[in-house]
Amino acid sequence: MKNIDTYTNPLSTRYSSPEMGAIFSDRVKFTTWRKLWVELAKAEKELGLPISNEQIREMEIHVEDLNLDSAEVYEKKFRHDVMAHIHAFGDQCPTARPIIHLGATSAYVGDNTDLIQMRDGLEIIRFGLVNVIRNLRKFALEYRDLSTLGFTHFQPAQLTTVGKRACLWMQDIVMDYHDLRYVLSTLRFRGVKGTTGTQASFLSLFEGDHEKVRRLDEMVSRAFGFPNAFIITGQTYTRRLDSRIAAFLSGVCQSLSKMSNDLRLLAHLKEVEEPFEKSQVGSSAMPYKRNPMRSERIASLARFVQSLETSLSFTASSQWFERTLDDSANKRLSMPQMFLATDAVLRIAGNISAGLVVYPAVIRKRIMEELPFIASENILMQAVKKGGDRQILHEAIRSMAQEAGWKVKTEGAENDLIKRIRESDLFELDTKELDSFMDPALYVGRAPEQVDEFIASEVDPVLDKERSCPEIVVKLDV
The residues that are catalytic are 153, 283
Supply φ then ψ for residue 157, to 5 degrees. -135, -165
